[in-house]
Structures are given as structure tokens and as C-alpha cells.
Amino acid sequence: MEDTDNDNKKIKLEVRNLVKVFGPKPEKALALLDEGKSKTEILEATQQNVALNNVSFDVYEGEIFVLMGLSGCGKSTLLRCLNRLVEPTSGSILVDGDNIPEMDEEELLNFRRHRVGMVFQSFALLPHRCILDNVAFPLEIQGISQEERHEKAEKAIGLVGLAGYENSLPSELSGGMQQRVGLARALAGDNDILLMDEAFSALDPLIRREMQDELLDLQERVNKTIIFVSHDLDEALKLGDRIALMKDGCVVQVGTAEDILTNPETKYVEKFVEDVDMAKVLSAKDVMKRPEPLVSVTSGPNNALHLMEEYGISSVFAVSKHRKYEGLILVDDATEAKKKGLGLEDIIKRDIPAVSPDTPVSEIMPLVADSAIPIPVLDDEGKIKGIIIKGSVLAALSRMEV
């Protein structure tokens, strides 16, 4: 089972004080960095570009960790340092306790072969090979026999939903399908860590969203440690269990999507997140109110009317034992029932739309927009967790837009 508690999570990858300087004599730039000089000062003094400036962060096992930032912020360089496609200048990268920058050639080869896979922005499929052989490529490199690698590749192809395309050439597939192949290739070797470099940025928006959903689905099944580079905040918020926001080679803030949105630590983060469509980020649990008042479905209309009068509302939710949701009682119906001597069971409205705590606000808005009645928020067992009214949704959205 997966732990949800952060303290119990195992650290898979630990980056400490990572520095990357592009230039022929990085020692000089390193010394200046130690003096606390800025990236621009160093560029002026030495003509060397500090791409990563003392980057430190942890990635937990089984999470999707998003490196986020504008182009040129160093996120792709950082990703490539993790498997040493780019040689870090100094600092350490510990994966399960092994320090990547200190590995010799053979150790590095084995690390790349067995422990880390990569997915590329431009898909980077080999044009002369069919899908099956593209996916089997990492296994071929390892010297695995054709029979075994084809078997494993077919499994990976099935995992990404491309069964039946084994003998097609990459050029015969659409962009979305090609990137599935890229994903299958990274999964074929069954490596623990997946590095994804702007993996969905080259796809058009509809396909991109579809692929994001599928990645989340897939992650439920394969449970890899995924480090995902993106320049798209919506994508980062959707995919990332945690997000590291980068600027000018530094990690500015690391946290969950909500941390970053609600408590931006610096002006930069604040500015970055201000354009976010909050309706996609917030979910029902963020905007719901306490479920008060509630009336027991076994009590009478008098009780319901009394509660409505007390709270100044025109409807009240009825529950059975343990706050199990039953339906809505409207004030007019209750008055009628009182006259005719009916029970609440007879007048309860059970066809009110309900949502779950994780339903995004964007899906709730059309439900509340044109109705005066509130919406119940129910958990998996059908218990009422909260209620949403039009006012609280609008209030939550406007509060964020400061």
C-alpha cells in the first residue's frame, strides 16, 4: 500500500547543491558562486553561464515530481543532470544512496540501463524501426535475446494501449500515439525512475490533456518515480504530486500544487501562478461549507421547517444514520406536508445532483450557476461531507484572484 503521509515516504532521489556551469573553465565561476555572486554577474565576469545554481530537492518514491519554469530556467538541464546526459559541475545526486556524479563509465551505463528511463519532447523514435523494435530498443542495448525483448516490449505496448500497432513505422502514427510509444519504450526496461522532458508539450491541447489523464492512470498501475519537466503550469498542477518551481537556475519553491498556489513564497511564484485558472485547480472540498443544518429523514416536517426558519434558508438536506445522505427537503413541500400530515419520506427530493470532494470547481460551476438549491458533497460511502452554494464558489474564486 502507498503511504499518504509525507513523513513515512521513502526518498528515492536526493539532489544536493547541484551546480552546472556551461563554459571551458567552470572553477572560476564556482568560486564566484561561493562568494554569492549572481548569475548575471558571473556571466559578465567570466563569460560562463551558470545553468544550475545550488539546486537541492528530494523526490519521494512513487510520486510525480514536476520541474516547472519558463524556457531557459534550467529545468531541462537539471533533468539531464539526473542521468548525466549533461555532466553536473558539482554537487551530489543520490539515487537509493548511489551518487550519480561519482559513477564511473560502467556504473553509469548500468544505471542508465536498469534504473532510469527517459521520454523526450520530440518523441525521438528511431524512424527506421517498427514500433515493436523501437520499444525493445533499451532491451536490445542490454543484450537481451530477441524473443524475450519482444515479449517485454509487447507488454509495454499493451500498457500504453497501442496493441496491434507493433509492426507500424513511427511515421505512420499520430503525435499522441508516437509519444505513447516513447512512454512504452521508457517502461519496457521496468526501470524505477522515469524522466519526462516536456513529454506532452509537442502535442495539441486536446491530445495533451488526454495523455495527462492516461499518464495518471498508468502511474496508478506501474507506480514509478516520475520526474516531469513542464513549462505549463496547468499541466504541472494536474500531474504533480509536488512541484518545484525554477527560475534562473534556482529552485524557487517546492511544494504541492496547493502550497504553491495558496502560499507563494516569493513574488516570482506569485506572479507565475496569478494567471492560473483557479476553477481547474480548486475542487469541491476547497469551496464546500460545513453541512449545516441537517435534518433526520425520520423526523417530521415541523422539525425541518423550524431549522429552515432558524438558518434563514429555503431548503435543508435530509440524512439517515451516520450522516448518510438521503435527499433535499424544500420549504414549500414541507409546509404542504405539515398541512396534509405527511412525513419527510414522502416529500424528499432525491434527484439533486451530487459531487465528490475531488470534483473540480470547473465542473461544479454549471451545476450551481442556474439553480437556487445547494449541492451536496458526498464521499465514497455516500456520507455528506459538505454543501456547496453558488455564493461560496464565487467567493472562493474571487478570493484567489487577489
Partner 1 sequence: MADKSYAIFPKIPLGDGVEYIVDWIDTWFGWLLDAVNYILDIFVSAIQDLLLFIPSLIIILLFAAAGWYVTNRDWKMPVLIALGLLLIQNMRLWPEAMETLALVITAAFVALIIAIPTGIAASRNETVEQIVKPVLDFMQTMPSFVYLIPAVIFFGLGDVPGIIATVIFAMPPAIRLTNLGIRQVPRELNEVADSFGATPNQKLFKVQLPVALPTIMAGINQCIMLALSMTVIASMIGAGGLGLNVLIGIQRVDIGMGFEAGLAIVIIAIILDRLSQNLIKTGG
Cα–Cα distance between 186 and 341 in angstroms, integer? 68
Buried b (16+ CB within 10 A) or exposed e, 234-254: bbbbbbbbbbbbbbbbbbbbb
Cα–Cα distance between 217 and 312 in angstroms, integer? 44
Cα–Cα distance between 358 and 379 in angstroms, integer? 9
Interaction site with partner 1 (CB under 8 A): 80, 83, 85, 108-114, 116-118, 120-122, 124, 126-129, 137-138, 140-142, 189, 195
Q: How far is the CB of 124 from partner 1 (least distance, A)?
A: 4
Q: How far is the CB of 81 from partner 1 (least distance, A)?
A: 12
Query: Do the strands 11-22 and 90-95 form a parallel or antiparallel pair, or are they unpaired?
Result: antiparallel
Q: How far is the CB of 122 from partner 1 (least distance, A)?
A: 5
| 27, β-bridge pairs | none
Please name which of 272, 275, 276, 222 lies closest in space to residue 252, comparing C-alpha atoms. 272
Task: Please identify, using beta-carbon distances, which residue of 7 and 105 lies nearer to partner 1.
Answer: 105
Task: Please identify, using beta-carbon distances, which residue of 51 and 279 lies nearer to partner 1.
Answer: 51
Task: Please identify, using beta-carbon distances, which residue of 121 and 303 lies nearer to partner 1.
Answer: 121
In whole angstroms, how large is the CA radius of gyration of the chain?
A: 27
Q: How far is the CB of 53 from partner 1 (least distance, A)?
A: 24
Q: How far is the CB of 177 from partner 1 (least distance, A)?
A: 18
Q: How far is the CB of 133 from partner 1 (least distance, A)?
A: 10
Residue type, 217: D
In the block, which residue shows the cell 528511431? 126
List Cβ<8 Å contacts ≥24 apart for 157-165: 157/131, 157/132, 157/181, 157/184, 159/184, 159/187, 159/218, 159/221, 159/222, 160/184, 160/187, 160/214, 160/218, 161/214, 162/131, 165/131
**Half-sphere exposure at residue 157, Cβ-oriented, CA atoms within 13 angstroms:** 22
- Locate all alpha helices (DSSP H) within 282-371, ordered by sequence: 284-287, 301-311, 331-340, 344-347, 361-369
Contacts with 236 (C-beta within 8 Å, 6 or more apart), sequence order: 66, 68, 228, 230, 243, 257
Task: Please identify, using beta-carbon distances, which residue of 128 and 321 lies nearer to partner 1.
Answer: 128
Q: How far is the CB of 154 from partner 1 (least distance, A)?
A: 18
Cα–Cα distance between 243 and 226 in angstroms, integer? 12
Task: Please identify, using beta-carbon distances, which residue of 59 and 125 lies nearer to partner 1.
Answer: 125
Task: Please identify, using beta-carbon distances, which residue of 116 and 305 lies nearer to partner 1.
Answer: 116
Please name which of 312, 351, 345, 350 lies closest in space to residue 331, comparing C-alpha atoms. 312
Q: How far is the CB of 83 from partner 1 (least distance, A)?
A: 6
Task: Please identify, using beta-carbon distances, which residue of 183 and 304 lies nearer to partner 1.
Answer: 183
Q: With contact defined as beta carbons under 8 Å apart, do 160 and 119 qualify?
A: no
Task: Please identify, using beta-carbon distances, which residue of 173 and 254 lies nearer to partner 1.
Answer: 173
Q: How far is the CB of 189 from partner 1 (least distance, A)?
A: 7
Task: Please identify, using beta-carbon distances, which residue of 57 and 120 lies nearer to partner 1.
Answer: 120
